[in-house]
Amino acid sequence: MSDDTLRRRLEALEARQKLNDATDEALELAQRDRLALAETVRSILPLLVSHTGAEMAWLRTFDENLELRDFTYGGPPGSFPVEGDALTAVTDDGKRLVRREGDHLVLAQPLDVAGELFGAAAIALPKSVDKGKLSTLEALLDTWCEELDNYLAAIALTRKKHRITTALSDALKEPIVDVGVHRAIEVLKENVAFDDMLLVFRHEDDLRGASLHYKVIQDGELTHDSRTPDMEVDEFLRTHAAPLLKGESRDLLERFGVARGREEVLIAGVRDQRVVGRVVCTSARGEFNTFDRDLLELFADYLRQRVVDFNREWKALSRVFPGPVVNRLLAEEGYVQKWLSPRVVDAAILFTDISGFTRISEQVLKAPERVGELVDRWGEAVVDIVWETGGVFDKMVGDCVIAMWGPPFGEMDAQEACRRAAEAAVRIRDYTKTLNDGALLEELRGLEPPIGVATGIHYAPICVGLFGPDEDYTGFSSGMNNTARLQGVAERDEILCMDAFVEAHGDAEAFGEERQAAVKNVAAPLRFRPLS
């Protein structure tokens, strides 16, 4: 190697080192003074120009708002010899550009932050520049870009986190919560190196576990999902989920090998904080790094909000429908319009209330809180019977429970709806008789006459759906009114059925002789038969 060649190389290295040191010092000052990107760029673009002998310098990169911005030094905006889009058309492919443009020689190269394209930088040199210095000038531009790359890494990290955050948010906007959670987990898997995950959540008031959702991922693969349960595992999960959510047991974590994982608790409420779910992740690499922990926290936070929204929907629906129906509704996009908007359907209708309720309230129970306890506990048991027979709980008016069979899906034929309603009526009557043993309320033991119910049932068209400012799910029709009147005719332990119900039921031998009764505000007498 000749002395001239060695000298030129040393000069090139010294030039790179000087630019590197000057740029590094400027960036350190910018970080110390917490300068915005625009101010930082204004301090380092002149260094690039002065150390390369360029007439102008240009930079395109992402700012703090994660928006691409162009910066120019050495001339007014838009005066750079080559348009920015023309430059990035080359650099976006990871290539460098050398182009003569008018009176200038333009050099450009991409900005690369940890393998991610983050913009481009360019200098405009005099056209007369010595071609022998071209490699040195390219090296100087590369040195400056490398220093800037390190500075931009923090913005790049913010940009990546923002992109992932947006993807998580978009995934969990999916109306069907299970689908949204699955998509969000896929986003997390693409960005966080976790191996195993246990996710469980439910409505905090759901003691039966009907709203329980869970997903188990082992070695990166979904192995157990509440949408497609394995009965043995499902039973174990449902048994141990509540103690886990309450923080009373970690058996579930031990069962799936995630007891030492990174755990995030999903909490609802500000004042009255309630645990609505838990998500636990493990990594074969051991501890999660800071970035991964941040993403897990973001995932948990977005998931918490989605679970809170889900719980709000679940709670509203679970006042009316049994758990399996609620889950089916929530698993369908647009379920409100499809199933719950007002429509006319044929349905079996039941009205039932406690016979002699006024006497029991005033002469037997006396204390208001005991009356309330009777209505509350009896009503809860009656609604359970309605749900167990496939019915819908319309409302409770005083001590009267109103229920329907047929809505919301309309999949029962007339006979099935009526037979299910009849079964419920008998079970409600039989259950109410058991209260005379005093197990529910001691005051009812040996009561004479004993506590019982009076029931009226009908099969008729109703307009059913969400009505009113509170969007209550209820039904309206003359058939509903006639059922209420019929229930008022019934004596204790009688189940009176309108003729239309008897006909739809299909088993005439299950009923007694036809009777008639004139009732208030109904033109024709009601025609009905008692259920034997």
pLDDT greater than 50 at residue 412? yes
Closest CA to 506 of 386, 417, 429: 417
Closest CA to 357 of 429, 483, 449, 480: 449
pLDDT greater than 80 at residue 271? no
Closest CA to 277 of 218, 175, 206, 174: 206
Closest CA to 399 of 381, 417, 374: 374
Q: Where does residue 100 rank: exposed (0-12), middle (13-18), buried (19+ CB within 10 A)?
A: exposed
CA distances for 77 relative to 64, 120, 307, 374, angstroms: 20, 16, 49, 80
Closest CA to 73 of 47, 91, 108: 47
- Based on its alpha-carbon atoms, the radius of gyration of the chain, rounded to whole angstroms, reads 37
* pLDDT at residue 242, rounded to an integer: 84
pLDDT greater than 90 at residue 66? no
Out of 20-29, 163-172, 309-318, 498-507, least confident range? 309-318
Place of tokens 């809170």: 308
Out of 2-16, 112-126, 266-280, least confident range? 266-280
486 residue type, one letter: L
Domain ranges of the chain: 3-160, 177-318, 341-530
Q: From CA 66, how far away is CA 57, in angstroms rounded?
A: 22
- Whether residue 381 contacts residue 307, with contact meaning beta carbons closer than 8 Å, is answered with no
pLDDT digits 0-9 by tens, 142-171: 999 999 988 888 877 888 888 899 999 999
Residues 6+ apart with CB under 8 A from 75: 55, 56
pLDDT greater than 60 at residue 269? no
Fold equal for 3-160 and 341-530: no
CA distances for 84 relative to 80, 93, 98, angstroms: 8, 14, 14
Residues 6+ apart with CB under 8 A from 199: 181, 185, 213, 214, 215, 216, 277, 278, 279, 280, 303
* pLDDT at residue 516, rounded to an integer: 92
pLDDT digits 0-9 by tens, 201-233: 887 777 677 788 899 999 889 999 988 888 888
Closest CA to 168 of 182, 158, 154, 178: 182
Instruction: Quote the pTM value.
Output: 0.66
* pLDDT at residue 76, rounded to an integer: 80
pLDDT greater than 60 at residue 485? yes
* pLDDT at residue 314, rounded to an integer: 85
Partners of 112 in beta bridges: 117
pLDDT greater than 50 at residue 270? no
Average pLDDT, the chain: 90
Helix (H) or strand (E) holding 385: helix 368-388
- Whether residue 282 contacts residue 355, with contact meaning beta carbons closer than 8 Å, is answered with no
The CATH homologous superfamily for domain 3-160 is GAF domain (3.30.450.40)
Please give the average per-residue pLDDT across 242-258, as a whole number. 87
With cut-offs at 50, 70 and 90, classify the pLDDT of residue 3.
low
* Residue 470 neighbours by CB distance under 10 Å: 7
Considering the segment(s) 177-318 as one domain, its CATH architecture is 2-Layer Sandwich (3.30)
Q: What is the dihedral of CA 84, 89, 95, 97, to 10 degrees?
A: -50
Q: Are strands 400-405 and 472-476 parallel, antiparallel or unpaired?
A: unpaired
CATH number for the domain whose boundaries are 341-530: 3.30.70.1230
pLDDT digits 0-9 by tens, 311-357: 888 888 989 999 889 989 988 889 999 999 999 999 999 999 999 99
* pLDDT at residue 59, rounded to an integer: 96
Please give the average per-residue pLDDT across 63-72, as a whole number. 89
pLDDT greater than 90 at residue 509? yes
Closest CA to 261 of 243, 278, 276: 278
* pLDDT at residue 51, rounded to an integer: 94
pLDDT digits 0-9 by tens, 444-455: 898 889 999 999
Please give the average per-residue pLDDT across 458-482, as a whole number. 95
CA distances for 166 relative to 7, 62, 160, 294, angstroms: 53, 17, 10, 14
